[in-house]
Structure 1
Amino acid sequence: MTDQLNPPAAADVGLEIRKRKRWPWLLAAVVAVVAVVGGIVYTQLSHQHKPFGPNLKVATWSTDIAAETLLGYIAENIAPDYDITIEPVQIDNLVEINRAVDAGDVAANFFQHQPFLNDAIAANGFELTLAVPVFTWDQATYSDKYRSWDQLPRGAKIALRDDPAGQAIALLDLAEAGQITLKPGKDTVAGLPQLTDIESNPKNYQFVQVPIGQLARSLADVDAVVVHISDVYAAGLTEEQILARHPAPKGSEGGLVVSNKHLEDENVQKLIAAFSDPRIAEYLETTDNDLIRNTLGPIS
C-alpha cells in the first residue's frame, strides 16, 4: 500500500529503465564485432586455401613495364599451351604485391629477385617461393655529366636504392666495375652487401640512398645513379645517359613468385611449367622489342 501511495520518482524510473535496456545493445555490438572479424578471417582463409582455377591472375609492379611486357608475351604465346589463362594485373605497392600472393588474391607475381623476396619475407612473415627464375635485369650507371668512370671525379655523389636488396646489387655493380671493393663474404648476392660492407673506396665516392621510385628524378642532384635499367626506363632515362653497363650479379634473377600454400595446386603447377618454357629464353634473346632488349636478358 505504501508503494502505491508513494511511487518511485520519475528520475528513478528512468534510471531503472536504462539499466534494464543497456545490455541488449552491448550484446548486439559484441555480436556485430564478432561477425565482422569472423567474416574477415573467413574471407582471408577462404582465399588462402581455395585452389586456383585455370584462370590465373599474375601481378606485376605498376612501374616495371619490362616485366609487364614479358608477362604479356607469356600470357598470349605460352600459357594457352598449358591449358591456363593468365590475367595480368598491376599493383603499385611493393608490400601489397607480395601480400596479394600470400593471401591468395592473385596466383603469383612477376617482378622480383630472391634478395628482394627475402627482405619481404623477413619483414612480413609471408610464405612465398621464387618458383621459377626467368630473366636477368640489365644494370647500368647513369650520369648527365660524365661519360666514363675516368671522368667521374673524386668525391662524386652516387645514388643507389635504399632497400637492402637493391642496395646490395648496386654495390656489386660498383665492385664489378672496379670502383670499390667489398669485405670478404660480402662480394656476392648471398652476402647482401650494404654501405657498411665497403672495404675500400679509392675515389671517396659519397653515396646517397634513395627510394626506388625517386631514383630517376635524383639524377639531377647527383653525379651518377646505379640501378636496374627497368627501374628508370619508364621515367625516361635513355641510353645516351648511361655511363656504364653491368652484368646482373648471379643470384639476382627475376621470376615467378607463388604462395607456399598453393604450390601444389594443379593449375599453379601448370603456371610454373609455363614460366619454365624454353621459348621465353629464346624470346628474350631474339626479340625486336626495344623495351625488352634494353632492359632484360635470358638466364645463361
Structure 2
Amino acid sequence: MTEQQTTSPDVGDIDIEIKKKHRWPWVAAAVGVVIVIVGGIFFANSTNQDKPFGTTLDVATWSTDIAAENLLAYIAQNVAPEHGITIKPVRIDNLIEINRAVDAGTVAGNFFEHQPFLNDAIAANGFQLTLAAPTFTWDQATYSNKYRSWAQLPTGAKIALRDDPAGQAIALLDLAEAGQITLKPGKETLAGLPQLGDIAANPKNYQFIQVPIGQLARSLADVDAIVVHISDVYAAGLTENQILARHPAPKGSEGGLVVSNKHLDDPNVQKLIQTFKDPKVAEFLKTTDNTLIRDTLGPIS
C-alpha cells in the first residue's frame, strides 16, 4: 500500500485511552480490552529500539480491520500461551504510524498488511521490517448497489478502487481474473504490481476512480461498483447482498505478522513468530464459526 498520507495531529493534541470498542456484540466478546492509540503519534516519542522484549508483547492491528483484530484475539487467547508469551492487542488508526511503531520497537509487531503494502512502507520511510509469519489471505469482492452480475454492469460503468499501488494492483488482478480487463504482459501477477496504466484491454470501457482506502465504502453511493478487500469495508456496514462477485486472493497478498529486523534475534520475538506460524491458526481459519472471520479471511493453502 503507498500509504495514505494522513495528516497527523500535534503531539499536544494526542488523546490516549484504554477502552472496549463495542462495534457489535461479537467484537466485544472476541476482542475484550484493547489499547487505542489515536493517530499513532504517541509512538514517535516512545521508542524501544535496542531493548529486548519481555514475555508480554504488544501487537498492533489497524483500527478498522476488525477481521484481523478478531483473529489476533483468537491467537492471543488460544495459541500464544502455549508458546510461553502473552500478546496484548493494540489498535492504531494511522497506516504510517502502525509500521513506525514496529520499526521503533514500541510494539513487537503488527498484524494487518501484506508484502506489497510493506514494500511501499519500507520504500517511503526506510523502515527495517520483515513479514515474518504470513498467516491468512484476504477475501476480495466487487460490491455494487445497483447490479448483481458482470453482465448487468453497463459499458462505461464507474468502478472505484484503492489509490495506493498495492491495493490498486490487487483490484486490477481481481478484475482480470473475472475477465473484465486484460493486463499487459509481465503485469499479470502481484509481483508485476499492475497499475491503471498497465491495462491492455478494457472491453466495456470502465471508468476507474482512485479512492483512498478509508473512503471506499462511502464511495459506493457515487459509483457503479467498488473492488476491495472485504475486510476493508466490513466495518462500514457493507453486506453480502451488495457483493456482485467474489475473487480469490492473488498469490503474494497473504497477510501476517510483521516484526522489526532489529529484533529478529530476540528470543521472545522468535516465540511470537512461532505463535503465528502454529498450525492451530490455519485450522481455526478453516473451521471457525465466527462469520466475520469466515467471510473475510482464509487460510494460506
Structure 2 match to 1:199: 200
Q: What whole-Å deviation, never above 9, does each CA across 1:71-105 have from its counterpart, x for those lacking one?
A: 00000000000000000000000000000000001
Structure 2 match to 1:76: 77
Amino acid at match of 2:272: L
- Give the drift of 1:298: 0.3
Unaligned runs of 5+ in 2: 1-42
Matches of residues 255-294 of structure 1 in structure 2 within 5 Å?
Answer: 255-294=256-295
- Give the drift of 1:43: 6.5
Amino acid at match of 2:123: A
More helix by share: 1
Measure the CA separation in 2 of the matches of 1:41 and 1:292.
32
- Give the drift of 1:178: 0.3
Structure 2 match to 1:242: 243
- Give the drift of 1:120: 0.3
Residues 83 and 149 (structure 1 numbering): CA distance in 2 closer, same or farther, change over 3 Å?
same
Amino acid at match of 1:292: I
Measure the CA separation in 2 of the matches of 1:287 and 1:249.
23
Residues 65 and 43 (structure 1 numbering): CA distance in 2 closer, same or farther, change over 3 Å?
closer
Structure 1 match to 2:17: none
Q: Which has the larger radius of gyration?
A: 1
Unaligned runs of 5+ in 1: 1-39
Structure 1 residue runs of 4 or more that deviate by more than 6 Å after TM superposition: 40-43
Measure the CA separation in 1 of the matches of 2:44 and 2:64.
31
Residue 179 of structure 1 aligns to a residue in which SS? coil
Structure 2 match to 1:58: 59
Measure the CA separation in 2 of the matches of 1:221 and 1:43.
42
Matches of residues 118-133 of structure 1 in structure 2 within 5 Å?
Answer: 118-133=119-134
- Give the drift of 1:42: 10
Structure 1 match to 2:233: 232
Amino acid at match of 2:252: G
Q: What whole-Å deviation, never above 9, does each CA across 1:45-90 have from its counterpart, x for those lacking one?
A: xx11101110000000000000000000000000000000000000
Residues 184 and 166 (structure 1 numbering): CA distance in 2 closer, same or farther, change over 3 Å?
same
Residues 101 and 251 (structure 1 numbering): CA distance in 2 closer, same or farther, change over 3 Å?
same
Residue 190 of structure 1 aligns to a residue in which SS? helix
Matches of residues 1-300 of structure 1 in structure 2 within 5 Å?
Answer: 44=47, 47-300=48-301
Measure the CA separation in 2 of the matches of 1:89 and 1:160.
28
Counting matched residue pairs gives: 259
Does structure 1 retain, via aligned residues, the 8 Å contact 2:114–2:255? yes
Measure the CA separation in 2 of the matches of 1:215 and 1:42.
32
Measure the CA separation in 2 of the matches of 1:160 and 1:258.
28
Does structure 1 retain, via aligned residues, the 8 Å contact 2:46–2:106? no
Residue 49 of structure 1 aligns to a residue in which SS? coil
Amino acid at match of 1:166: G
Amino acid at match of 1:128: L
Structure 2 match to 1:19: none
Q: What whole-Å deviation, never above 9, does each CA across 1:257-293 have from its counterpart, x for those lacking one?
A: 0000001100000000000000111100100001001
Question: TM-score, length-normalised on structure 2?
Answer: 0.85
Measure the CA separation in 1 of the matches of 2:83 and 2:278.
10
Measure the CA separation in 1 of the matches of 2:188 and 2:49.
38
Measure the CA separation in 2 of the matches of 1:235 and 1:119.
25
Residue 49 of structure 2 aligns to a residue in which SS? helix
Question: TM-score, length-normalised on structure 1?
Answer: 0.85
Residue 86 of structure 1 aligns to a residue in which SS? strand
Amino acid at match of 1:78: V
Measure the CA separation in 2 of the matches of 1:111 and 1:43.
21
Q: Name the Cα RMSD after superposition.
A: 1.3
Measure the CA separation in 1 of the matches of 2:74 and 2:46.
33
Percent identity, aligned pairs only, is 81
- Give the drift of 1:41: 11
Measure the CA separation in 2 of the matches of 1:42 and 1:221.
41
